[in-house]
Structure 1
C-alpha cells in the first residue's frame, strides 16, 4: 500500500501535467510513478472529486483522440488557445508596446495555453514577433499605465513632467510640470493617451497627453471629487474622437461614394446613413476634435463634406494648398 507522501506526490505530478495541457496516458503514468494502472485511475478520480468539491470550472476526461486523460474547462470562462491566438494577433498589430513588454506579455499568455497547442500558436505568430517594429518612443509603459489607472480609480492627483512637441516636430528639451486630475487612459493609433483635467483650471473638455511623453510622474495623496454623473465616459469619448486630436464637438454631414460604407461606419461608430441612392450615401456623425479632418482628407475623392460650412471651407482651402504643392513641380 502506498504511503501518503507517495500518493500526494503522484497526485501532484498528474495534476501538474494536466494543468500544463499535457495528456496523461494511464500505462505510461503507471510506469513513471511505479504504481498500477488502477492506481492512476483512482488518482484521476480523486482529482476530479477535488475539482468538483472546490467548484473549479474544470474536470478530467478521457479523450479518444489523444488516447489519454486531459483537463477540460466546464465553462467558457478561461482563456483557451483560440483566445490566446486572437489576443496575440491584436497585440502584434497594435504596435503599442515596447518589444520587451510584448515578448513578456505573449510569453505569459502562452503559459496559459494548453501544452499541445503552444507550438501551433507560435507557428502563426512567430514571424510577426520576429519582425515586430516597436513604437519609436521605446518607452516601457505597463507599470505607468497601471499606476495611473489606480490613480483614476482612487481619484488621486497625478503630478507630471511632460514633454511637448516643438516647432519642428521634435520633443522640447524642457518639460512642463502639471497637476492633473486623471480621467481615463485610451489607446489609439499606436499610442496610449491620458485624458485629464488640469487642476484649478477650467476648460470645456479635458486635455490629452501621450503617456510616453510623461517623463516623470508622482501619484499624490491629494484627491479630487467626481460624482457618478460627472464621471468621464471614455467609451462615448472614444467613439467621437479621431487620431486623439483636441478640438470642439460638432455634427458633420458628408456624401460618401467609396467602395465600403461599412468601413466608414466602423471608423465613425455613431454615424448614421440619412439617405442612399445609386452608390452614394449621405452620412451624419458627431465628432470631437480636429482629427476628423485628417481622416476626411485621407478618403480623397470618395468623400465630399457638406456641413458645417466652416469645415467645408477649411477642406477646400487645404485641398488648394495641396494642389499648389504639386503644381510647383
Structure 2
C-alpha cells in the first residue's frame, strides 16, 4: 500500500512539474479534484517541486514556482537569463520565417517547440504577431525535410568521417557519386550547404554541395585527419563568399557612391574603407570565388571595380554583354 501511495505521489508531482514547465497555471482546488487528494497534498507536492528547483539554482538553472494573483494559481517563472524569454522567442520566430529554409512541416514543428518556451498567455500573443507571416509562409521549392540530415552531417564533420553521397547538380538529370571529407555546414540565401573536400582529389578549395540536392548518403567508417591550423572555419569562409560560389581568394578594390555604405559593409564583412571624400568611397575586400561578381553587378551604376586588372576586365565584359541585350 505504501509503495502504491509513493507511486501515485511521484506521478502527481511529475504531472504538476510537466504542466508548470509548459506554462500552465496550477490551481490547488482543481488538482486536488483531479487526483482525488486534499489541497494540502497538492501544496506539499508544490513544496517538493520548489525544493528541487532550489537545488537546481545552485547549478545555475534558476526557476521558481510562485503564486500569481492575476491567474489565481501557481506558475513557473524563469528568474535567470538561461531560458528563452518572450522577446527572444519572437525574434527567433521572425528569423525562422524569413529564412524560408524549411518545408512547411518542419517549420510548424520548430515554431511549436519554440513557442512552448513561454507561458500560454505570451504564446498566444506571439502567435497573433506571427500569424500572418505563418499563413503566407512560402518555403523554397525543393520541399524536402532537412533537419535530420543536418544533424547527421554535423556529426560526420565533428567525428571527421568520410561520407559517400549521391548528388544532383542543378539542371542535370544525372546523379553523381562522391566520397567526401565534410568540413562544415553553412546557411546562405535560403539554403543549407555542405562544405567538403573530395576524397583523393587535389583541389585548391573545397567543394560546395546544397544539402537538399543530396539524394542519399552513407556515413563511412573511414576517418580523415586535419591539423588544427588547417581546419575549416565556417565563419571566416562565410565572410568571404557570395551566393556560395567557391573559388580562389581575391582581393578586390572598388569605388562606391551608392546610398548605403553600411549595406555594402554588412554584405562584405571583410571590406574596409581605404579612403572617402564623403561622396565616393574606395574599398577593399577579400572574397572567395566569382559569386562576388553577381553582387557587384546588382549595384548597377553605383560602383566601379578597379582591381585586380583581370577581374576588372571580366566585369567590363559582363557589363558589355548585359548592354547588348538592350541594344539589339
TM superposition score normalised by structure 2: 0.90
Aligned residue pairs total 322
Tell me which residue corresponds to 1:273.
273
Q: Determine helix, strand or coil for the equivalent of 2:187.
A: strand
Deviation at 1:67, TM superposition (A): 4.5
Deviation at 1:112, TM superposition (A): 2.7
Task: Give the match for residue 124 of structure 2.
Answer: 119
Q: Given the alignment, which residue of 18, 21, 24 partners 1:19? A: 21
Q: Distance in 1 between matches of 2:222 and 2:294?
A: 39
For the pair 1:70 / 2:72, whether they are aligned, the reply is: no
User: Per the alignment, in what secondary structure is the counterpart of residue 110 of structure 2?
Assistant: helix
Q: Check if 1:106 corresponds to 2:111.
A: yes
Aligned equivalent of 1:198: 198
1:40 deviation in Å? 4.9
**Residue 54 of structure 2: aligned partner:** 52
Q: Residue 75 of structure 1: CA displacement?
A: 1.7
Q: Which runs of 4+ in 1 moved over 4 A?
A: 3-10, 25-42, 64-67
Q: Secondary structure at the match of 2:149?
A: helix
How far apart in 2 are the matches of 1:10 and 1:53? 20
Do residues 297 (structure 1) and 302 (structure 2) align?
no
Task: List alignment gaps of at least 5 residues for structure 2.
Answer: none
TM-score by length of 1: 0.89
CA contact (8 A) 1:22 1:116 kept: no
State the distance in 1 between where 2:168 and 2:6 align: 63
Corresponding residue for residue 95 of structure 2:
90
String of CA shifts for 1:59-117, please: whole Å, max 9, x gaps.
11234454543211232112222222222211111111111211122222223332222
- CA distance in 2: counterparts of 1:146 and 1:6, whole angstroms: 39
With over 3 angstroms needed to count, the CA separation of the structure-2 counterparts of 1:194 and 1:8, relative to structure 1, is: closer
* SS across alignment from 1:72: strand
- Rounded to whole Å, the distance in 2 between the matches of 1:284 and 1:223 is 39
Question: 1:228, 1:189 → 2: CA distance?
Answer: 29
2: CA distance, partners of 1:245 / 1:207: 9
Please state whether the residue corresponding to 1:76 is helix, strand or coil.
coil
1:54 positional shift: 3.8
Pick from 122, 128, 133: which aligns with 2:133?
128
Using the TM superposition, name which of 300-309 and 65-74 deviates more: 65-74
Cα distance between partner residues in 2 of 1:16 and 1:212: 36
Once residues 199 and 16 of structure 1 are traced to their aligned partners in structure 2, the CA distance between those partners, rounded to angstroms, is 48
From 64, 80, 86, the counterpart of 1:81 = 86
Q: Deviations over 1:204-244 (max 9, x none)?
A: 11111111111121111111111211211111000000000
Per-residue CA shift, 1:112-138, capped at 9, x if unaligned?
A: 332222211111222222211121122
Local SS of the residue matching 2:92: helix
Query: After superposition, what is the alpha-carbon deviation per residue over 1:290-314, rounded to whole angstroms, capped at 9, x for unaligned?
Result: 1100001111122111121222222
Q: Equivalent residue for 1:151?
A: 156
- Describe the shift of the 1:7–1:222 C-alpha distance in structure 2 as closer, same or farther (beyond 3 A): closer
Q: Is the 8 A contact 1:80 1:114 kept in 2?
A: no
- Structure 2 counterpart of 1:263: 263
